[in-house]
Amino acid sequence: MTNDNRQMWTDLGIDLERHEMLLNALGPAYKEIYLAQMNRPEGMEFFDFVVGDIHGIRVRELRQHAKEGGKVVATYCVFVPDEIVLAAGAVPVGLCAGTNFSIQAAEQVLPRNTCDLIKSSFGFKLGRTCPYIQTSHLIVGETTCDGKKKMFEILSEYQPVYVMEVPNKKNRISRDLWLSEVVAFKDVVEKLTGNKITEEKLAQAIKLVNGKRRALQRLYQARKANPVPISGKDALLVTQVSFYDDVARDTQQINALCDELEKRITNRKGVFPPNCPRILISGCPMAIPNWKLHHLLETSGAAVVCEESCIGTRAFSDLVAEDKRSMDDLLKAIADRYMQIHCACFTPNTERIEDILRLAKEYKVDGVVHYNLLYCHTYANEAVRVDKALEKEGIPLLRVETDYSDDSGQLRNRIDAFLEMIQE
Ligand code: BJ8
């Protein structure tokens, strides 16, 4: 820990003692899970560096932005349109919610039978262990699942929170409602920043964010190769980092990594043996540093080749149309793109099941692991339909319900049995 970082965290009101415990736990875990991997692409060095100073350099950049009069807007969901935030000269940052560490603090307030993603995010605020939250001027929530929207009410007692209403259906009325939410969000961000969002700035922001999405599409395209040129763990990390790094820099780094991966594919250089079981993970998002399931699968001999998740394909598969010029058309294009995200909070959500089947074929997977966070009822109930659809297609499925605790021993047994069944 540098003295500069320590001073910055003190200024941000971080609980230094608890925070040090968090970083002390993260370092060795990263070493074991990430740095011990063999044959990693050189392009992962950048992402190792970012995680190595996870609460340092990027936070300093955001603080500098704030010192110059800029605003930082924190988010928890892929429904919040980054384009609008960027067009107003603010910086969007996706908050981490993937660790057990912050849960104890959250459970002093929230019911224990709340999903760990919600508890983890709330606990970071309550325990004052996340410098990103402390740096942000506004947290933007959404009315997706019930646990989240109620947590945002409580969170607003600690920090300014604005909640976007995400509808639960995708019919005409819901689409109109969502468009009006996008328009209202533009007003909120303009008011926060004091900057007017012009057509030109919004069009530029759309291109910028689409650029990052295209880079991630390229990364996932590379994962279709056999042998796969990058581990699932590394690809997951790249996607996780893309939620809080600077958009232009991150895009450049992902593209540089993809250049290397494409060379690997030409040379048939993989990270795992060519015919190891290929797995698609589908379900709840895995926020940083939630690497448990990938680590177990890949240390049991499988390769995770795709994530049907909001820290995965749902984050980047669809682009915002780039041919619009008027403000109305630009906002409508943004609203339309975001309504293509197939979160289990929607009903019906048949498109997600179609996506899972399509991805299973495109990535030539041998099996699907449905990842469910304990107490996440939307994904757990939707898994019933996922199960039926996969069974009909003859694609093996393992349903995993877990939280952020260490249940690796039990999970490992189930994973090993599943992989054995697939290989038979
Ligand atoms: S668009 S998936 S990022 S809401 S796991 S908190 S659903 S109880 S995270 Fe999500 Fe947006 Fe949907 Fe994606 Fe609730 Fe379930 Fe917890 Fe969840």
Does residue 77 line the site of ligand 1, with CB under 6 A? Answer: yes
Which atom of ligand 1 is found nearest the CA of 345?
12
pLDDT tens digits, the chain, 424 residues: what are they? 577 899 999 999 999 999 999 999 999 999 999 999 999 999 999 999 999 999 999 999 999 999 999 999 999 999 999 999 999 999 999 998 999 999 999 999 999 999 999 999 999 999 999 999 999 999 999 999 999 999 999 999 999 999 999 999 999 999 999 999 999 999 999 999 999 999 999 999 999 999 999 999 999 999 999 999 999 999 999 999 999 999 999 999 999 999 999 999 999 999 999 989 999 999 999 999 999 999 999 999 999 999 999 999 999 999 999 999 999 999 999 999 999 999 999 999 999 999 999 999 999 999 999 999 999 999 999 999 999 999 999 999 999 999 999 999 999 999 999 999 999 8
% of the chain exceeding 70 in pLDDT: 100
Q: For ligand 1, atom 12, which residue shows the shortest CA distance? A: 343
Peptide bond into 289 cis (omega under 30): yes
Q: How far is CA 2 from CA 6, 55, 359, in A?
A: 6, 11, 44
**Which tokens go with 201?**
């700035």
Query: How many other β-carbons are positioned within 10 Å of the β-carbon of residue 296?
Result: 20
Which atom of ligand 1 is found nearest the CA of 114?
8
Rounded CA separation 138/237 (Å): 25
Which atom of ligand 1 is found nearest the CA of 116?
16
- Buried/exposed code over 73-102 (b: 16+ C-beta within 10 A; e: otherwise): bbbbbbbbbbbbbbbbbbbbbbbbbbbbbb
Strand order from edge to edge, sheet including 367-373: 303-308, 278-283, 367-373, 397-402
Rounded CA separation 11/26 (Å): 22
Determine the distance separating the centroid of ligand 1 and the alpha carbon of 371, expressed in angstroms. Answer: 12
| Contact of 70 with 91, CB cutoff 8 Å | yes
Q: For ligand 1, atom 2, which residue shows the shortest CA distance? A: 343
Determine the distance separating the centroid of ligand 1 and the alpha carbon of 379, expressed in angstroms. Answer: 8
Rounded CA separation 121/116 (Å): 8
Element (H, E) at 215: helix 199-222
How much of the chain is in helix, strand and coil states, percent to nearest 5?
55, 10, 35
Q: What is the DSSP letter of 93?
A: E
* Plot region of 301 (φ>0 → left; ψ -120 to 50 → alpha; else → beta): left
> Is residue 279 classed exposed, middle or buried when 0-12, 13-18 and 19+ CB atoms within 10 A define those classes?
buried
Among 76, 145, 151, which residue has the most ligand 1 atoms within 8 Å of its CB, making it the best to mutate?
A: 145
What's the pLDDT score for residue 1? 59
**Which tokens go with 242?**
């893309």
The candidate with the shortest Cα–Cα distance to 81, out of 264, 206, 242, 220, is 206
